[in-house]
Structure 1
Amino acid sequence: MNTNALRTVEARIREQAAAFCASGNVPGFVAGVHHAGEQIVVAHGTANVATGAPMLDDTGFLFGSVTKVMTTTLVLQQADRGLLDLDTPVVTYLPEFALAEAGAADKILVRHLVSHTNGIDADLYFPDARGRDALKAYVTGLASTCGTLFEPGEQLSYSNGGMIVAGRLLEAVTGVPFNDLLEREVYGPVGMIHSSTSAEQAILRSTAVGHFPDPETMAARPTGMFTLPDTWGPAGGTPIGTVADLLAFGRTHLAGGVSPSGTRVLSAASTASMRQVSYDMATPNVPPMGLGWVRYPFGDTTVLAMSGASPGGVSLLCVVPDHDLVFAAYGNTPDALMLQDQILRWLLSDHLGVPIPALITEVEQDVDLTPYVGTYRSDQLRVDVSVVDGQLEERTTYEPADASQERIFTEFAGGTTSAPPQRYTAIRPGLFAPAGYPLETFDGYLRLLLVSYHDVRDGRARFRNGGGRLTRRA
């Protein structure tokens, strides 16, 4: 690829970032692209409005759930070394692993943890433990606190709990604390020289903080919480690094498990297995899941992706194997995901020439809404679904388990835990779009805004899926 083409990409990202940040109260944004041996990084705006520190090419940020691909890489490394078997029950290696329902944990295989098919109902479980025993405390707490949403392998539901259990499993089979293992087995061999695993390390260098819109002025204000508790490390609560570091990690997966420096990080077979479909719900709003990676189809082109929410910020890592491209980005308000989606779609369509077909091509009329009406629940979350003016209306309520859970979740959400009712229009039976959005909105990463309902029995859906997460009919 000629260098001029990537310079065009650099100019385009700079232009898009400046326009979006100015119009959307996003203080700062940083993005990078590696394509066919060439690489660029673009930084714009402010890393922290409280200090006025600029967002720089090498400003650090929280990886958020992008960490889940790293956790999965660590699990596959141990499988390569014979310390783990993906198709063995987790309790074989981690006997203390249990859930509130007797015997439920015994059915969960190692594979279920990293393919988001484990059914652990713990998506909003935030025990506030710190230090080297944090993951042990998390697993201990599951036994009395969290049940299951479905039988392992029966459904797909984005699982923070599964990844955290995977982190504790890694500690058990290696004898090494998760953070030390991440630094030794991923950061080091990949060449992620600016990455860390704690706020104490990150403060020693330039690091961005998240922001939320002020309820009165809508101006961006810094988050009051930098990281989630240490218990959430393997799911993305604490790891921090730069765009260049994420590009290096993406390039390692692009190259079949070999880092940019030539170090083999993961076997070619395990790298390939992470890309293969583990579960497909066959609905447009939930892309097929690999191991760690989410497989976003854009026509015939697959984008391996994972986004990562942190308090007031969002990261994104995308690998496009068919076109030798890696894209990484971070913006320090949650709305930055829309900018990341814009850039990804432009990279695919204009830079790579990948056709992006419409995800929704037709809308059915007179869809029966009655199978979806009812109350759906998951850990500390309730969704009440009714029919209003011919549309579905959803009311989402956060139901904290205790004061500690409420404090952590409220800080993570920027001080608010309630949302106004949301109306949805039918696309077809079981699939709905938020009212007022043009259908082309959902052609890219924002297809996650669609809501689907599954497993209709006796005229009633058993599950609702929003943002890749299941709630179960109460």
Structure 2
Amino acid sequence: MATLSEIETWLHDRLPALLAEYEVPGAAVGVSFGGEVIDHAAGVLSKATGVEATADSVFQIGSITKVWTTTLVMQLVDEGKVELDAPLRDYLTEFVLADDAAAAEITVRQLLSHTSGFEGDIFNETGKGDDAVEKYLATLAEVTQLFPPGEMFSYNNAAFTVLGRLIEVLRDKPFDACLREYLFTPLGLKHAATDPYEAILHRAAVGHIRPTPEAEPVPAPVWALNRSMAAAGAMLAMQPRDLLAFAQLHLDSGKAADGTQVLSAASVEAMQEPQVKVPALGLMGDSWGLGWELFDWAGTKVIGHDGGTIGQGAFLRVVPEHGLAVTLLTNGGDLIDLYRTVVGHVVKELAGLELPALPTPPAAPVQVEVDRFLGTYSCEVADVTIRQDEDGKVWLDQTPKGIFAELGAKPEPVELVGRDEQSLIALKPENGFHSPHVFLGDDGTGRALYIHSGRAMRRAPA
């Protein structure tokens, strides 16, 4: 096994070349192991300014924020202010959906485990004030239910914004203030920012996007998503060491470095218990806990989460058995290839673990009942159409909607081939990943009711 010092040397020697290879403008890496922490950064924070990335630079952590939000909810559970299996409306009477019966049934646990069943990618703009989350809840009144609460997994950003409002109501203060008081302060975080106004006080990374699939990454036109989505991961930014301090909290049974009990050991354990199985999608966990993604790496339990905002991507993996946590924070480019190289090296050298292989198209495509999959599936941020051309090839066409259409996203058609009886997979990789698409359910005519690629998208009405 390697030492942390050897890992640090490897990062120093290899990270700049890896960034160039994968067209990643800048990145910062942090590793916590055996009570010691190392960090290293390379590249630039913005290709427009050329400012150097350093280990104390702040990058957005995106949806890793959801584990922070879950921790704030579990603190309320510890205090007896929230019961996980109680309907949310017991605490948040303002929670509304188009399906009122479902809204009345949905529990806190279902929101935390992405099983509440309502449309989840609702990026409604409600301003930049402290009331942004409060205003957001009213905008859910027309949001549809994809499936009955608790039936299956479907990644849900809106659910965590709802949980952010739950925290605000029970703490009687804005979500950002709760983050600072109940997590930043007891953890002693020095380079964590809840919004652009704080981030600009530090060396802040700017996201980079590709104008076309073949173009080099360029600075994104905006820095963050809407403030209303803060609890889901819209803008929380920090240095690797601060994210590792949070991870260490979950390795040390809820205790901060100074011994303060920030979260009960029981709640730490509960967050890591499987709540729902996830379709076989490759990069996501095998199952989901409360907040955490749960992975099985050849029999070793790994917890973690990924995050993606506008041109920034973050990865966190924690191996409790080995007392290891590693994070990679980036600002554009081929993130998955960089993740697999850097995080893969760290976990292999320090814990003897191999990253599971990503899904790839089979050498001989599996013959599937294509007619069952064909058609259009729709959600708030995109329409996805599965079609077959005259040569028998199957294609996925995606039409972005809402904020993603406004950003000018124009995805190219993606050719799909049979992966197994229930799924198709992209023939060519995008950013180092062949995206699988699992088809579930039956619309009553023998056709699939959902296409699932992390989120369940329902077949559009004929």
Answer whether TM exceeds 0.5 for this pair. Answer: yes
Are positions 1:421 and 2:413 aligned together? yes
**Which consecutive unaligned segments of at least 5 residues does structure 1 have?**
401-407
Matched residue type, 1:8 = E
**What is aligned with 1:329?**
328
Q: 1:212 to 1:284 in 2, by over 3 A?
A: closer
Which of 388, 393, 396 is 1:394 aligned to?
A: 396
Give the C-alpha shift of residue 364 in structure 1. 6.7
Query: Secondary structure in 2 aligned to 1:42?
Result: strand
Q: 1:282 to 1:216 in 2, by over 3 A?
A: closer
Q: 1:280 to 1:251 in 2, by over 3 A?
A: same
Query: Secondary structure in 2 aligned to 1:147?
Result: coil
Are positions 1:211 and 2:208 aligned together? yes
TM-score (norm 1): 0.90
**What is aligned with 1:89?**
87
Matched residue type, 2:149 = P
Query: Secondary structure in 1 aligned to 2:154?
Result: coil
Q: Distance in 1 between matches of 2:279 and 2:345?
A: 26
Are positions 1:271 and 2:252 aligned together? no
Give the C-alpha shift of residue 17 in structure 1. 2.5
Query: Secondary structure in 1 aligned to 2:5?
Result: helix
- Does structure 2 retain, via aligned residues, the 8 Å contact 1:314–1:334? no
Q: 1:327 to 1:94 in 2, by over 3 A?
A: same
- Does structure 1 retain, via aligned residues, the 8 Å contact 2:381–2:404? no
Query: Secondary structure in 1 aligned to 2:276?
Result: coil
- Does structure 2 retain, via aligned residues, the 8 Å contact 1:299–1:356? no
Matched residue type, 1:235 = A
**What is aligned with 2:254?**
257
Q: 1:215 to 1:383 in 2, by over 3 A?
A: closer
Query: Secondary structure in 2 aligned to 1:333?
Result: coil
Give the C-alpha shift of residue 347 in structure 1. 2.4
Q: Distance in 1 between matches of 2:4 and 2:173?
A: 41
Give the C-alpha shift of residue 280 in structure 1. 0.4
Q: 1:365 to 1:178 in 2, by over 3 A?
A: closer
**What is aligned with 1:347?**
346
- Does structure 1 retain, via aligned residues, the 8 Å contact 2:196–2:235? yes
Q: Distance in 1 between matches of 2:94 and 2:116?
A: 17
- Does structure 2 retain, via aligned residues, the 8 Å contact 1:135–1:164? yes
**What is aligned with 2:5?**
7
Q: 1:255 to 1:391 in 2, by over 3 A?
A: farther
Matched residue type, 1:312 = G
Query: Secondary structure in 2 aligned to 1:54?
Result: coil
Q: Distance in 2 between matches of 1:80 and 1:297?
A: 28
**What is aligned with 2:424?**
432
Measured on the aligned residues, the alpha-carbon RMSD in Å equals 2.3
**Which consecutive unaligned segments of at least 5 residues does structure 2 have?**
none
Q: Distance in 2 between matches of 1:106 and 1:14?
A: 53
Runs of at least 4 residues of structure 1 off by over 4 A? 214-217, 355-364
Q: Distance in 2 between matches of 1:22 and 1:30?
A: 14
**What is aligned with 2:108?**
110
State the number of aligned residues.
454
- Does structure 2 retain, via aligned residues, the 8 Å contact 1:191–1:261? no
Q: Distance in 2 between matches of 1:359 and 1:290?
A: 22
Give the C-alpha shift of residue 294 in structure 1. 0.6
Q: Distance in 2 between matches of 1:117 and 1:51?
A: 43
Query: Secondary structure in 2 aligned to 1:460?
Result: coil
**What is aligned with 2:404?**
409
* Higher deviation after alignment, 172-181 or 372-381: 372-381
Give the C-alpha shift of residue 24 in structure 1. 3.0
Matched residue type, 1:157 = S
Give the C-alpha shift of residue 92 in structure 1. 1.2
Q: Deviations over 1:299-329 (max 9, x none)?
A: 1122211111121111111111111100111
Residue identity (%): 33
Q: Deviations over 1:3-58 (max 9, x none)?
A: x6112222333444222321233211111111112221010011122222110010
Matched residue type, 1:464 = I
